[in-house]
Structure 1
Amino acid sequence: MEAQVELLLGQVLQFDQSPFDAPPEQAARHTPKGAVAVQDGMIVEVGDADALRRKYTSAQITDMGDALLSPGFVDAHVHYPQTAIIASWGKRLIDWLNSYTFPEESRFEDPDHAMQIADTYFDLVTAAGTTTTVSYCTIHPESVDAYFTAAQARGLRALGGKTCMDRNAPDALRDSAQSAYDDSKALIGRWHGQDRLSYVITPRFAPTSTPEQLDALGSLWAEYPELLMQTHISEQHEEIAWVADLFPEARDYLDVYERFGLAKKGALMGHAIHLTERERDRLKELDASLIHCPTSNMFIGSGLFDMDGLMKQGHRVGLATDTGGGSSFSMLRTMAAAYEVGQLSGTALHPAQLWWLATAGSANALHLGDRIGQLAPGFEADIIAVDLGSTPAIAQRAARGEDIWEVLFPTIMMGDDRAISAVWAAGRKLR
């Protein structure tokens, strides 16, 4: 029996192309009285509300009033195990890991603790309008099981993997080259391709893996080339110097990953702030994805991501909260931080560019741009309704807006989970 069509009514925002490749106002389409038709978890049609109501006469109607219907947000780099230590005071990257991250991650051998944090994490990000996440777990397979179990129960698209570390970490958080390979391979078999779940090969970063472990994970990726691989690169100057000491034979940070088969299309390179010219050129040639984590970069004092220069060079760029080094679970706050970083770097990002980065841009960075991140027929029905007057401060500013971008921008800069009126994952309403 064919499932009933549900019509979601509201303002509709769609992108026909990247607003970095065309004038932002031309790249996007705004339908003030629009509708999205959903059936069997998929978007079947998007258009004028009256026209679609006439076409789908027996559809279930969900009227969101003046709320903006948008794709759910796509968070391309998170550490869900750091949920409970978000907004911890006063450290830079290496001290942050030793003081906060490693003690907390040591607790994830306990399946009950892992499940509690995973449930809390997904409750928080769903409330903030995020429907796809890419997470580092811990070295413990139990942490991966909890993450995917919690996502699966909510019908969310989720990507993640066991974080692999066999040096420069506490004994309780070290695996080995062989166990990293074996555990990851077992988890791929258990989770990859189940419902909306995807496994991501996950060396934390070069300093916490021996050459033997990096080689093992490169071999694993060669066995499963359809998977993504996530790691960190060039986040802070101290980290770059550390990598140079640990791998003196490498030309630069990226070369470490290249030597072990961990730099190619499908690589998700977190941060990528202090890249050399060779690294920038080579990452573009490889078509690796660069993941911008603006709240984290400012909170931990890492530096300013060169969005303008990298986009002009044609890089594949996604946007992320980097929970819990990032200081918010919200992609709205992340967009605001990206705007602020752009201003400090001399380029004001247009609201269309910010919204695209948090949706279609991040989806493209994950090589899922044909499935999520847009409101278009054939896409998965991950949809949010955004209240563009969610607080008195936002409402009074939006009231003066003369186009959709002037109305939307106050929500980008001042919005939080109060702006998210409703969330659907694969057509199922979650809130």
Structure 2
Amino acid sequence: MTTHLYLASILHFPQKTAQPKQDFSYIKDGALVTQNGKILATGQANDLLSQYPEAVSHDYRGQIIMPGFIDSHLHFPQTEMLASFGEQLLDWLDNYTFPTEKKFANPEYAAKIADIFLRQLYRNGTTSAMVYSSVHQCAADALFNAAKQNKMLLIAGKVCMDRHCPSWLQDTPESAQKESAELIERWHGKDRLYYAITPRFAPTSSHEQLHALGELAQQYPDVYIQSHLNENLNEIDWVNSLYPEYNGYLDVYDKFNMLRPKAMFGHCIHMQEHEWQRMSDSGASIAFCPTSNLFLGSGLFDLKTAEKYDIPVALATDVGAGTTFSMLRTLGEAYKVGQLRSEQLPPLHGLYLMTQGAAVAQGLEQSIGNLNAGTDADFVIVDPHFDELTSLRCEEQSEIQDIIFALSMLADDRAITATYIAGEPVYRANT
């Protein structure tokens, strides 16, 4: 087994914390050692060079090794419609999303876009993701197959919707349950792949379909669940009209047994007090999607209240309503959302939400999200001097907090020198 040693500055959060701007590990003259897809050690470069003299050395000094970024909410069939002229949520779905997703009934087309989608993640430093597929079972298969080729840790699910969408995108309660169960049996827990039961959102699933998916969630208590929640005011009014017997949007998922640990709900912008409390009690998590919330005019996520209730929060791009695959750029937009709420998001706090914090939200911190010995060797090499401007901005004496903030405002995929998954390079700049 070949041992590899990477020379660079090392930045990560070794454990779950409520104070990420304090509880981080930064080694300026550091090194990372990997073997057989796992991290063996991080530490001072001189110490590890002497400890592992047999290791193949890779010199990235002047750059920063971080855990691979984790994107906790995005839609792979929407890759090609990124940056479509904006509307608000419900019209945007009708005019852009549904016509695009129709194409994924074709397995060859789904496989083609799956490859493009994953390449975009890798070139932006994203090594793990929680992904919505289309309603078509073959599209989910294509995505899982593509991720398996690179040993990627992927959580994904077939979207389920049996009403309030075009007939050519509808499944049924029975087919949604059957096809999701088949996908669970085929993919969940195989290699580094996990399944998420995925009702698109409450308005596109009938009572009968949510009941069928809730039965599936009880049958498979270790699978993930993902959906949308309290994103848009018109959406919320619609849910209340469709489910008048329930106490708000969250209660719909709750009553159908889909509120629990390993459930990730996107957006959660317009939450009622009792919903914050119930989500906290349930162990479910929130995906904070700043670029799509701003793009669709949905509102400003209340991170402070989520943290007050001790609800795990993960940062996410929400491609394709989200406007970039770059988690660094998404971090910059999260800061701006905080500014509009008169709340500051410190840069290291934001970085935590896309690394260790996201892993905690998904219950995967023993595998990803940090650079601890024994975890999977998913990491990204970031160059804070990738062009003339950032070289000027990120001087040698700059504090690491300031460098991360500058990257959140100025960086994109050009800042990513290399992305490694399970110890193997899946992206290298200029190659």
One-letter code aligned to 1:344: L
Q: Is structure 2 residue 10 aligned with structure 1 residue 9?
A: no
| 1:98-137 equivalent positions in 2, closer than 5 A | 98-137=94-133
Match of 2:171 in 1: 175
| 1:145-164 equivalent positions in 2, closer than 5 A | 145-164=141-160
Query: Cα offset for 1:18?
Result: 4.7
Match of 2:311 in 1: 315
Describe the SS at the equivalent of 1:430: strand
Query: Cα offset for 1:14?
Result: 2.2
The size of the alignment, in residue pairs, is: 427
Describe the SS at the equivalent of 1:27: coil
**C-alpha RMSD of the superposition:** 1.1
Match of 1:22 in 2: 19
Partner Cα distance (1:342, 1:313) in 2: 18
Q: Is structure 2 residue 238 aligned with structure 1 residue 229?
A: no
Match of 2:426 in 1: 430
Runs of 4+ in structure 1 deviating by more than 4 angstroms, as ranges, are none
Partner Cα distance (2:68, 2:86) in 1: 32
Q: Is structure 2 residue 325 aligned with structure 1 residue 344?
A: no
Assess if the C-alpha contact under 8 Å between 1:18 and 1:356 holds in 2.
no
Partner Cα distance (1:401, 1:271) in 2: 38
One-letter code aligned to 2:9: Q
Describe the SS at the equivalent of 1:388: coil
Q: Unaligned stretches of 5+ in structure 1?
A: none
Query: Cα offset for 1:267?
Result: 1.0
Partner Cα distance (2:20, 2:295) in 1: 32
Q: Is structure 2 residue 72 aligned with structure 1 residue 76?
A: yes
Q: 2:330 aligns with which of 328, 334, 344?
A: 334
Q: Unaligned stretches of 5+ in structure 2?
A: none
Partner Cα distance (1:68, 1:359) in 2: 14
Q: Is structure 2 residue 230 aligned with structure 1 residue 269?
A: no
Q: Normalized against structure 1, the TM-score is what?
A: 0.97
Query: Cα offset for 1:239?
Result: 0.2
Q: Encode CA deviations 1:341-366: one digit per residue, 9 max, x unaligned.
A: 01111111111101111111111111
One-letter code aligned to 2:410: M
Match of 1:240 in 2: 236
**Bigger shift: residues 234-243 or 405-414:** 405-414
Match of 2:375 in 1: 379
Partner Cα distance (1:126, 1:181) in 2: 32
Partner Cα distance (2:290, 2:161) in 1: 25
Query: Cα offset for 1:400?
Result: 7.3
One-letter code aligned to 1:225: P
Q: Encode CA deviations 1:306-363: one digit per residue, 9 max, x unaligned.
A: 0122112211111100010101011011101111101111111111101111111111
Describe the SS at the equivalent of 1:168: coil
Partner Cα distance (1:56, 1:365) in 2: 34
Q: Is structure 2 residue 417 aligned with structure 1 residue 417?
A: no
The sequence identity of aligned pairs, in percent, is: 42
Assess if the C-alpha contact under 8 Å between 2:348 and 2:404 holds in 1.
no
Query: Cα offset for 1:301?
Result: 0.5
Assess if the C-alpha contact under 8 Å between 1:37 and 1:45 holds in 2.
yes
Query: Cα offset for 1:115?
Result: 0.7
Partner Cα distance (2:156, 2:344) in 1: 32
Q: Encode CA deviations 1:143-197: one digit per residue, 9 max, x unaligned.
A: 1011111111122111101000000010010000000000000111111122111
Partner Cα distance (1:407, 1:176) in 2: 50
| 1:188-207 equivalent positions in 2, closer than 5 A | 188-207=184-203
Assess if the C-alpha contact under 8 Å between 2:20 and 2:348 holds in 1.
no
One-letter code aligned to 1:275: M
Q: Normalized against structure 2, the TM-score is what?
A: 0.97
Partner Cα distance (1:193, 1:287) in 2: 21
Partner Cα distance (2:200, 2:243) in 1: 16
Q: Is structure 2 residue 277 aligned with structure 1 residue 281?
A: yes
Query: Cα offset for 1:17?
Result: 4.2
Describe the SS at the equivalent of 1:231: strand
One-letter code aligned to 1:220: L
Partner Cα distance (1:159, 1:116) in 2: 19
One-letter code aligned to 2:362: L
Query: Cα offset for 1:408?
Result: 2.4
